[in-house]
Structure 1
Amino acid sequence: MTAMPTEALGLPRGRDLTRDDLDAMPDDGYRYELIDGILIVSPAPRRVHQRAVGNLYLALRQSCPADLEVLLAPFDVALSDDTVMQPDLLVASRSATTERDLPSAPLLAIEVLSPSTRSFDLLLKKDRLRRAGCPHYWVVDPGEPSILAWELADGEYRETAHVIGDDTFTVEQPLPLSVVPAELGN
């Protein structure tokens, strides 16, 4: 994750940023997201990250029911005017998405950890998705390798699975899936 002075990007100072400000960001290979009006800039991911995202996408697509769809970043999840995220993967109802974005919390948000985004994904993004009511949040660590899954219950995330290495990660909600974390980065 990179911190950039707002003036370097031509952004206003002294106020929270909005989606309109985000729309003015350059198409330069960085991922620009807003969390509660604060700009988060992430570099292009590494190859192992992209492999894990791609392999998990294929597995999710195979088990995805017709009324849901799996989307890859960059695709906006617009939780409010000052919060627009791009989870690495998301699952949402087909009827909930627009051509531009998902204007509400997804059914499932998945982040694949990178050295530059690790704390952001495990703390800030997870908390903001919890507050938005995202029912399921998963974090994949291709370095360990592992998958950690949480489910929203009474407004808080509770861990439902933590699978490491060659063990099989198996869930039925929000869709049936079985994957081996060690195989995702290959």
Structure 2
Amino acid sequence: MTVMAHDQGGRPYTVEDLGGMPDDGRRYELIDGMLLVSPAPGARHQKVVLRLGMFMELRCPDDLHVFSAPFSVRTSESIELQPDLLVARDADLTDKLLPVAPLLAVEVLSPSTALNDLNTKKAAYERMGVRSYWIIDPQDPKLTVFELDADGCYGQVADVKGEDPFDATLPFPVRIVPAQLLGTLYNRPVE
């Protein structure tokens, strides 16, 4: 992942700048005017996103929607993120993006994005007011769940590995087993 704090003119990036980024398979996101550029993800990452998305979609209530990246969450002119997976209220959506915090944001770790997912994005989602933030490690399947407390701060509510289940209540009841998100890739050696 590459992080750039200013454009060539020395000013912070804005969401308008994102429209001029190349269509090159990379993900371009913005946190407080800093541009985050992520390379295309690998097989385990994509399998987890696909299986989790399908699993969540089958259990999603009618007034909510599940989206996978690239789908933008733009809460200001200096913040636009594309969680690997998100859940949003139908009433909050526009045709192009989500202009408010999602109910759930999920990031699946990649070697190039792990530090940002665990720190920078977590802090941004917390400031936005995302009620539940899930981080999934596809290498050694693990799900870590953070939820906002009464003070608006994330507290860790779950850390499950392999075949251990997590029974989520937010944004809707669903049971997640990290190993099942990899399907047959679970038994394949990590390169």
TM-score range, shorter chain: over 0.9
Q: CA deviation at 1:124?
A: 0.2
Q: CA deviation at 1:4?
A: 6.5
CA pair 5-79 structure 1, distance change in 2 beyond 3 A: closer
Q: CA deviation at 1:12?
A: 3.9
In the superposition, the TM-score normalised over structure 2's length comes to 0.92
- Tell me the equivalent position of 2:138: 142
> Which amino acid is 2:135 matched to?
V
Q: Match for 1:178 among 175, 180, 183?
A: 175
1:48-75, Cα deviation, whole Å (9 max, x unpaired) = 1000000100111011000000001000
State the number of aligned residues.
182
Question: Which stretches in structure 1 are left out of the alignment for 5+ residues?
Answer: none
Q: CA deviation at 1:173?
A: 1.8
1:123-160, Cα deviation, whole Å (9 max, x unpaired) = 00000110111111000111121100011011100111
In the superposition, the TM-score normalised over structure 1's length comes to 0.94
Q: Check if 1:104 corresponds to 2:100.
A: yes
Q: Distance in 2 between matches of 1:102 and 1:63?
A: 21
Q: CA deviation at 1:14?
A: 1.2
Q: Check if 1:2 corresponds to 2:2.
A: yes
> Which amino acid is 2:139 matched to?
G
Q: Which runs of 4+ in 1 moved over 3 A?
A: 3-6
Q: Check if 1:127 corresponds to 2:123.
A: yes
- Tell me the equivalent position of 2:85: 89
Question: Which stretches in structure 2 are left out of the alignment for 5+ residues?
Answer: 184-191
1:33-90, Cα deviation, whole Å (9 max, x unpaired) = 0010000000000011000000100111011000000001000100210110000000
> Which amino acid is 2:93 matched to?
T
Seq. identity, %: 49
| Aligned-CA RMSD value | 1.3
**8 A contact 2:5–2:35 mirrored in 1:** no
Q: Distance in 2 between matches of 1:133 and 1:162?
A: 21
Q: CA deviation at 1:96?
A: 0.5
